[in-house]
């Protein structure tokens, strides 16, 4: 997913974008949605969130 798409999702969640990186924004979105903040971490492969919007990029 492109950064502009991530920013749009972040805006819908009222997340301040500022100079945040894509990873920071995705994790903030995950947190806001009540999910584990696992995007692009050592835990992403075993997070168990198979239907995650970011799954394809993450694993």
pLDDT score of 16:
94
Distance (Å, whole) CA 30 – CA 41: 13
Which residue segment(s) compose the domain that 14 sits in? Answer: 3-58
Average pLDDT, the chain: 89
Segment 25-28 long-range contacts (CB within 8 Å, at least 24 positions apart):
26/54
* pLDDT reading at 12 higher than 80: yes
Segment 8-17 long-range contacts (CB within 8 Å, at least 24 positions apart):
9/53
pLDDT score of 44:
72
Instruction: Read off the pTM.
Output: 0.86
Count how many domains the chain has: 1
């Amino acid at each position: 997913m492109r950064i502009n798409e991530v920013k749009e999702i972040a805006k819908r969640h009222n997340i301040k974008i500022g100079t945040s990186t894509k990873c920071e924004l995705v994790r903030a979105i995950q947190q806001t949605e009540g999910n584990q903040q696992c995007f692009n971490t050592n835990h992403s492969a075993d997070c168990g969130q198979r239907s995650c919007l970011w799954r394809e990029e993450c694993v």
